[in-house]
């Protein structure tokens, strides 16, 4: 029987609350499904850890995480610290340190959930975000700090290897989906070096995937397509920053940022992959027991699927949709007045009570 070792990192804000809820749901799925087991180890890394140790995670944190089969992550962001310190000190340290270059962000309207769009049609997208370079390369610097002549530079670094591997990943993903459609999003009219290379690589790769229908759109026009013609999109591939922004829009259009999952994949399996809800630390609702745990449940399903336990993952999603389609219990972001605990209990009961 397979035993999967999962590193759980709640991180900041509502992260620990939703990861705790997610572990309960994973335990329910493990029990109901049988045939595999999960061993969790929890790491208290994040902003509280920073105040004790002057760093978001230990210097040898990546070595500690390396033997795990997967990382189940909550969120980063704390009002007491600059956002770049928390993001680079934990989430990006893991994503970049483990070469988790494929960030996969599905968006669809779950049963019973209302999209803010008048005509959501069959909104069912996967956004593939380049996750290792680009606008998040970290290259740049500041000189003459505080003086009128101060200069700040953030360099977007796009490598042919980085662009090609993420685009191939997106093509492979698109060809496994019923619609087999891939849209490239860039801003190659304004960013005339790196983004033009994205376009050129896409044009060259297309020939290797004749079964995948392709098109391309500028990132500004992509927001319009997503809002007015959601049916025209299936898989979208874009740079680190563009896809980050588009996937927040996608989550909002599918009903709430609280339901959307993410996988940070190292597709070759040289390092563990990391799974997390799209949402951040939501400091305004910390400790109130109202955080929506559904994004973390969908994330759990995604993690099980990636570990080879697709049946158990699908079971979690059926249970989630049984609860959402019943219309209750739902947290306030979905129009309900239930707590995180209420939703967690209902999903665990739906898993345990399923006859399939
Ligand atoms: N669970 C996702 C999360 O914590 N996101 C925090 C954040 O600030 N992310 C910025 C980014 O991914 O670019």
Residues 291-306 pLDDT 10s? 999 999 999 999 999 9
Does 270 fall in a domain? yes
Q: Is 284 a catalytic residue?
A: no
Q: Which residues have CB under 8 Å from 349's CB, separation 6+?
A: none
Ligand 1 centroid to 9 CA: how many Å? 14
Domain presence at residue 217: no
Given a cut of 80, whether residue 12 has pLDDT beyond it is: yes
pLDDT (mean) for 166-191? 98
- pLDDT, tens digit (0-9, with 9 covering 90-100), for 16-66: 999 999 999 999 999 999 999 999 999 999 999 999 999 999 999 999 999
- Contact between 78 and 281 under an 8 Å Cβ cutoff? The reply is yes
Q: What is the reported pLDDT for 105?
A: 98
Kindly report, residue by residue over 39-52, the tens digit of the pLDDT: 999 999 999 999 99
In this prediction, residue 356 carries a pLDDT of: 73
Read off the pLDDT of residues 111-124 as tens digits, 9 standing for 90 and up: 999 999 999 999 99
The verdict on whether 209 is a catalytic residue reads: no
Residue 57's CATH number: 3.40.718.10
Q: How far is the CA of 46 from the centre of ligand 1 (A)?
A: 13
248 is catalytic: yes
- Going by CA atoms, what residue is nearest to atom 13 of ligand 1? 244
R_g (Cα) of the chain, nearest Å: 20
Residue 239 domain flag? no
pLDDT in tens, 204-225: 999 999 999 999 999 999 999 9
Total tally of structural domains belonging to the chain: 1
- DSSP 8-state code for residue 334: G
What is the position in ligand 1's atom list of the atom closest to the CA of 73?
1
pLDDT at 164 over 80: yes
User: Is 100 inside any structural domain?
Assistant: yes
* Active-site pick, 154, 215, 220, 231: 220
Q: Which of 244, 223, 312, 215 is nearest to 105 (CA)?
A: 244
What separation in Å is there between the alpha carbon of 248 and the centre of ligand 1? 10
Whether residue 355 is predicted with pLDDT greater than 90 in this model: the reply is no
Shortest-distance Cα residue to atom 6 of ligand 1: 280
* pLDDT tens, position by position, 242-271: 999 999 999 999 999 999 999 999 999 999
CA of 275 to the centre of ligand 1 (A): 12
Q: Is residue 222 part of a domain?
A: no
| Per-residue pLDDT, 354 | 85
- CB-based contact 43:8 (threshold 8 Å): yes
The boundaries of the domain holding residue 49 are 1-105+256-356
Ligand 1 mean position to 74 CA, how many Å?
A: 10
- Whether the per-residue pLDDT at 274 is higher than 80: the answer is yes
| pTM, full prediction | 0.97
- How far is the CA of 273 from the CAs of 22, 98, 211, 258, 259, in angstroms? 17, 8, 28, 21, 20
pLDDT classification of 137: cutoffs 50, 70, 90: very high
Catalytic residue among 78, 187, 234, 342: 187
Q: For position 81, what pLDDT does the model report?
A: 98
The two tokens of residue 301 are 């399903």
Q: Which residue do the tokens 């759109």 mark? A: 217
| Ligand 1 binding pocket, CB closer than 6 Å | 75-77, 87, 91, 244, 276-278, 280
Q: What percentage of the chain reaches a pLDDT higher than 90?
A: 99
* 231 catalytic residue (yes or no): no
Say if 276 falls within a structural domain.
yes
Ligand 1 atom 1 nearest Cα: 75
Please give the structure tokens belonging to residue 325.
């389609």
pLDDT number for residue 348:
98
**Residue 237 maps to a domain:** no
Instruction: Give mean pLDDT, residues 305-334.
Output: 98
- Rounded to an integer, what distance in angstroms lies between the CA atom of residue 256 and that of residue 242? 19
Let me know if 187 is a catalytic residue: yes
In whole angstroms, give the CA distance from residue 244 to residue 341.
29
Query: Exposed/middle/buried for 50, CB within 10 Å: 0-12, 13-18, 19+?
Result: buried
316 within a domain of the structure (yes/no): yes
């Amino acid at each position: 029987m397979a035993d999967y070792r999962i590193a759980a990192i709640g991180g900041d804000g509502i992260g620990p609350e939703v990861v705790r809820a997610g572990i309960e749901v994973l335990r329910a799925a493990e029990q109901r499904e049988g045939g595999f087991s999960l061993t969790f180890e929890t790491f208290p890394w994040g902003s509280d850890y920073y105040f004790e140790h002057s760093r978001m995670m230990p210097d040898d944190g990546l070595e500690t995480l390396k033997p795990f089969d997967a990382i189940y992550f909550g969120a980063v962001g704390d009002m007491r610290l600059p956002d770049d310190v928390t993001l680079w000190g934990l989430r990006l340290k893991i994503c970049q340190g483990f070469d988790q270059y494929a960030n996969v962000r599905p968006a669809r309207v779950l049963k019973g959930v209302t999209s803010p769009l008048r005509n959501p049609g069959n909104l069912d997208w996967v956004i593939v975000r380049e996750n290792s370079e680009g606008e998040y390369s970290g290259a740049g610097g500041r000189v003459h700090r505080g003086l009128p002549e101060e200069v700040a530079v953030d360099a977007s670094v796009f490598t042919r290897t980085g662009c090609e591997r993420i685009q191939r990943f997106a093509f492979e993903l698109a060809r496994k989906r019923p619609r087999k459609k891939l849209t490239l999003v860039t801003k190659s009219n304004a960013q005339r070096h790196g983004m033009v290379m994205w376009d050129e690589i896409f044009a060259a790769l297309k020939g290797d995937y004749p079964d995948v229908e392709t098109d391309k759109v500028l990132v500004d026009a992509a927001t319009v397509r997503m809002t007015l013609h959601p049916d025209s999109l299936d898989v979208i591939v874009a740079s680190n920053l563009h896809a980050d922004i588009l996937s927040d829009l996608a989550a909002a259009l599918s009903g709430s940022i609280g339901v959307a999952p993410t996988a940070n994949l190292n597709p070759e399996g040289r390092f563990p992959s990391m799974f997390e809800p799209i949402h951040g630390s939501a400091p305004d609702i910390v400790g109130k027991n109202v955080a929506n745990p559904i994004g973390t449940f969908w994330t759990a399903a995604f993690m099980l699927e990636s570990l080879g336990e697709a049946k158990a993952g699908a079971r979690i999603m059926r249970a989630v949709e049984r609860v959402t389609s019943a219309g209750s219990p739902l947290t306030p972001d979905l129009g309900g007045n239930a707590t995180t605990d209420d939703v967690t209990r209902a999903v665990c009961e739906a898993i345990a009570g399923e006859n399939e």
